[in-house]
Amino acid sequence: MEEEYYAILKLVSGEEIFSLISVDDGGDDPIIILQNPLIIQYSTTLNGGFIKVKPWIQLIEEDFYMIKLDKVITMSESKDQKLIDIYNHYISGEEEELKVKEPDGSIKPDSRMGYISSVEDARKNLEDLFNIKEN
């Protein structure tokens, strides 16, 4: 059994799936093990883009699925961190909305981008620090 990695699969049925996968090539016929496979669709409108996420199989609440390699047209490892974050957020079941982009297309800064605080908060912290050293 190989290591797990995130991948996008295109199946012979036409479906595109994003999942954490591993390949069991122990027998003559390799089997792909999908963990929480999702269908992720990106759409654009005049107001910007949005991402629609839904389970691959909606009526069954299983976490793992196995498919034979002959049912796969192509498979590509994904290192797109935004896509992985969306996948993990959906799988975790958190109810709060994950904002990737604002409606006007701008991106809200966060700590992963180096955003620590607002200018006003930083100014207040520095003034407080300066006033403590002065006394």
Q: Hunting for tokens 């034979």 — which residue is that?
A: 68
* CATH class, 5-102 region: mainly beta
Average pLDDT over all residues of the chain: 82
Q: Give pLDDT tens digits for 68-107.
A: 988 999 999 999 888 888 888 888 876 555 555 555 666 6
Least confident residue range of 12-16, 27-31, 85-89, 121-125: 27-31
On the question of pLDDT at 47 being above 80, the answer is no
Q: Which residue from 102, 100, 65, 62 is spatially nearest to 80, judged by alpha carbons?
A: 100
pLDDT surpasses 80 at 7: yes
Model confidence over 103-127: pLDDT tens digits?
566 666 666 666 777 888 888 888 8
- DSSP for 56-76, please give it: SSSS---SEEEEEGGGEEEEE
Burial class of residue 107 (count of CB atoms within 10 Å of its CB; 0-12, 13-18, 19+): exposed
Q: Residues 32-48: what's their mean pLDDT?
A: 85
